[in-house]
Amino acid sequence: MDTLQHLIKAYIGAYIATLHSRQYKPLDKHWKQHKLELLEKIKRQEQWHVLHDLCILMLYYGTSIHAQALCDLIIEDVIRRYDGKIQLKIYQHGPDPDRYILIDEETAEILDEYLSLTEPTQIELFRNENNQKLTPQDIFLLSNKYPNEGLVSELSGFFPIYSQSDYEIIPTPLRLNAVTRYTGKGVTIAFLDSGFFPHPDLIMPNNRVLAYVNIPDPEDDDFGKPQDNCWHGMQTSVSATGNGYLSNGLYKGIASNANIVLLKATDRQGCIKTEYMIRGLKWVLEHHKEYNIRILNISLGEGREESYLDNALNQMAEALWQAGVVVVVAAGNDGNSPDNAITPPANAPSVVTVGGFDDKNKLSRHYYDMYHSSYGPTIDGLMKPELIAPGIWVAAPILPETQLYKEAEALSKLARLSDSALPEAVAEQLEDLPFGSDILKLSTEEIRARIQHKLREQKIVGIHYQHVDGTSFSAPIVCSIIAQMLEANPELGPRRVKEILTSTTDKIFNIPLERQGFGLIHPRKCVKEAVNDRYRRGLKRFSSPFVEGRKVTFYFEHAEAQSIALAGEFTDWKADREFLTRIPNTSTWKLEKEFPFKGLYAYKFVIDGKNWIPDPECENIEPDGFGGWNTRLNLFLE
């Protein structure tokens, strides 16, 4: 092996090791010098094909670009941004939108050297040794020549190794180091919120909004009208499921291919009433199978504490859970207030309640701290939230067709102009700017300072976005990760989803457990566990009770019991009327029962005629009057 190949293998090894460390930092000075020596040696020996190969290897190893997409690249797909960084436009076959991948600074420098040597007439970015279009087989052979020590599968989809200062606001998938393979495709998330807008990140190039329902006023089709009540729901839905259409893919959500159902809960007077929220949840209960709604996000809540046992909103949320819908609720933002409390529906026992954390917009765990999210115990003594997710520094869109949208667009473009062009451009666009005519009397330096101040004040990033905060955005981020899990394994039920979420978290040091619950969500572990469940032994089923209309399936696990009876208000608490049947060669007992009327029913299981216990797979319980607990079954459909 010659010296040049040794140099390349050493450099590639250092590059991969840096990616593997997940520190998102450039290579150290030693390897920078190593790279310069490598480039000098290539030039001196005129080994231009080696530079060609090095470019391919770094793109193949350090990005999520698949071999075929790499072969399809043309020189025009190399896009230089205003800040000097390089993006590659990746053509997507089929209905999916093209992607734009930001190239890290190490690869960008190598790519620049390579492009300086390409022929002016060359169309394809890369060609093989026969001067023909590159093929995946060529890349395979090249990867064998410079082996990557088995790290490709682990590194695939990592973000570029820039520092966080290279992003105005760190994109959510990068912030959480989320898996990029799963994007929620085929999964529908419903959002119950104040109002919505058909943002391009949701409807372009393909409209993923399956339904929009104005709960207080179903006859008023106001979707598409930029009203004051639209921005909150638009931002929560896009932060989870947006595809980054207006940011060339930079500010996309983790579930960027999920389908969406939007439920507006604000009436014409601007009021959000508990009645509307309950009707919204009931609509999901009635239509979840039609739209394949597997997840419901609620970034709303009541303003007062109340026991989940007596609260209709909580019990409707429990009904959805029993019907197979994962309900995720924002904890609230009163953690530093005397009014701190977990209120309905966030205090329902089964739902996943999400608090917020603050990473200071940095990629190091050393900066992690809590956001001022609400926390328990609840009025019923339950610990909430179950887990935490980003609660601040979240990129979300500005509502189109509004004055702020126009101002953000104008300010962002002005901020990028040269000093010589800035004053004239400000004069031309003055009517779209939040300044008076006195700004024209200022120096160029003062004008630029005013513009930068206004951008910071309005939290504007990326022209059409701003950074937002609140657990209203923590909850949708968790929903987007659940969508990844369900895409990876559609057989997961709500109870198993919650088990995975809470068993794979990372604890944040020095933060009280009551504030962070089980800890910070870990997307990669969640998806890995969801995938692993596909191959684990055991019966694939939803938890007990599983409700389909008024048909209910009860399950109970017991390997040694001789009989399992179902007793409740519907049997006059007699333990000799309804019996579960054991599934052969398993420890699972099962009973399917049709109920004649809707309502709330209390029940227990009776083991061998003497041991009465609540359903261990259901958290919706109530006191039985004898110092124990009954399980509550929620049937709300006619």
Query: Is residue 213 a contact partner of residue 281, using CB atoms and an 8 Å limit?
Result: no
Neighbours of 583 (CB within 10 A): 13
| Same domain, residue pair 22 and 91 | yes
Contacts of 206 (CB under 8 A, 6+ apart): 95, 96, 97
Measured CA distances, 326 to 306, 321, 497 (Å): 22, 6, 8
CATH number reported for the structural domain that contains residue 479 in this entry: 3.40.50.200
Return the percent helix, strand and coil in the chain, to nearest 5: 35, 20, 45
Residue 169 pLDDT class (50, 70, 90 cuts): confident
Query: Is residue 602 a contact partner of residue 568, using CB atoms and an 8 Å limit?
Result: yes
Least confident of 79-88, 141-150, 495-504: 141-150
Query: Is residue 447 a contact partner of residue 425, using CB atoms and an 8 Å limit?
Result: no
| Same domain, residue pair 86 and 9 | yes
Measured CA distances, 566 to 453, 557, 574, 603, 632 (Å): 66, 13, 9, 7, 13
Helix (H) or strand (E) holding 370: strand 369-370
Does 431 map to a domain?
Answer: yes
For residue 451, what are the domain limits?
401-463
Give the pLDDT mean for 234-243: 97
pLDDT score for 145: 63
| Same domain, residue pair 88 and 185 | no
| Same domain, residue pair 354 and 415 | no
| Same domain, residue pair 345 and 282 | yes
Contacts of 498 (CB under 8 A, 6+ apart): 326, 350, 352, 386
Residue 105 pLDDT class (50, 70, 90 cuts): confident
Does 528 map to a domain?
Answer: no
| Same domain, residue pair 574 and 456 | no
| Same domain, residue pair 367 and 434 | no
Distance, CA of 393 to CA of 270 (rounded, Å): 27
pLDDT in tens, 497-546: 999 999 999 888 778 889 999 999 999 999 999 998 888 766 578 999 99
Least confident of 52-66, 195-209, 334-348: 52-66
Torsion of CA 282, 288, 293, 299, to 10 degrees: 0
Does the structure show a pLDDT above 50 at 19?
yes
SS3 629: strand
Does 287 map to a domain?
Answer: yes
Neighbours of 519 (CB within 10 A): 18
Does 508 map to a domain?
Answer: no
| Same domain, residue pair 30 and 129 | yes
| Same domain, residue pair 285 and 390 | yes
End residue of a domain, out of 163, 187, 212:
163
**Residues classed as catalytic:** 193, 232, 472
Residue 211 pLDDT class (50, 70, 90 cuts): very high
SS3 440: helix
pLDDT score for 155: 30
Does the structure show a pLDDT above 80 at 13?
no
Query: Is residue 274 a contact partner of residue 312, using CB atoms and an 8 Å limit?
Result: yes
Q: Are strands 581-582 and 621-623 parallel, antiparallel or unpaired?
A: unpaired
The whole-chain average pLDDT of the chain stands at 87
Tokens 């895409």, residue?
487
Distance, CA of 287 to CA of 292 (rounded, Å): 8
| Same domain, residue pair 224 and 356 | yes
Distance, CA of 634 to CA of 323 (rounded, Å): 9
Instruction: Name the nearest CA neighbour of 465 among 206, 253, 194.
Output: 253
pLDDT score for 432: 86
Does the structure show a pLDDT above 60 at 1?
no
Does the structure show a pLDDT above 60 at 165?
no
Residue 97 pLDDT class (50, 70, 90 cuts): low
End residue of a domain, out of 108, 134, 163:
163
Residue 40 pLDDT class (50, 70, 90 cuts): confident
Give the pLDDT mean for 3-25: 57
Domains contained in the chain, number = 4
Counting residues of the chain whose pLDDT is more than 70, the rounded percentage is 88
Give the pLDDT mean for 571-578: 95
Does 519 map to a domain?
Answer: no
pLDDT score for 53: 82
Does 9 map to a domain?
Answer: yes
| Same domain, residue pair 80 and 101 | yes
Does the structure show a pLDDT above 50 at 159?
no
Tokens 């932060």, residue?
239
pLDDT score for 18: 56
Query: Is residue 8 a contact partner of residue 50, using CB atoms and an 8 Å limit?
Result: yes
pLDDT in tens, 175-191: 898 988 899 999 999 99
Question: How far, in whole angstroms, is CA 70 from its chain's centroid?
Answer: 27
pLDDT in tens, 433-463: 999 999 999 999 999 999 999 998 999 988 8
Distance, CA of 452 to CA of 467 (rounded, Å): 15
Q: Which residue has the higher pLDDT, 12 or 424?
A: 424
Give the pLDDT mean for 116-143: 82
pLDDT score for 365: 74
pLDDT score for 58: 79
Give the pLDDT mean for 204-226: 93
Instruction: Name the nearest CA neighbour of 388 among 405, 407, 375, 402.
Output: 375
Q: Are strands 564-568 and 578-579 parallel, antiparallel or unpaired?
A: antiparallel
Distance, CA of 229 to CA of 270 (rounded, Å): 7
pLDDT score for 6: 60
Neighbours of 572 (CB within 10 A): 8
pLDDT score for 190: 98
Tokens 């667009």, residue?
409
End residue of a domain, out of 426, 447, 463:
463
pLDDT score for 383: 94
DSSP letters, 104-162, are: PHHHHHHHHHHHTTS-TT--BS-B-TTSSB--HHHHHHHHHHS--TT-HHHHTTPPPS-
pLDDT in tens, 538-572: 657 899 999 999 999 999 999 999 999 999 999 99
pLDDT in tens, 371-417: 999 999 999 999 999 999 999 999 999 999 999 999 999 998 898 88
Does 368 map to a domain?
Answer: yes
| Same domain, residue pair 183 and 248 | yes
pLDDT score for 12: 63
Does 560 map to a domain?
Answer: yes
CATH number reported for the structural domain that contains residue 599 in this entry: 2.60.40.10
Q: Are strands 588-594 and 551-557 parallel, antiparallel or unpaired?
A: antiparallel
Give the pLDDT mean for 617-625: 95
Distance, CA of 60 to CA of 67 (rounded, Å): 7
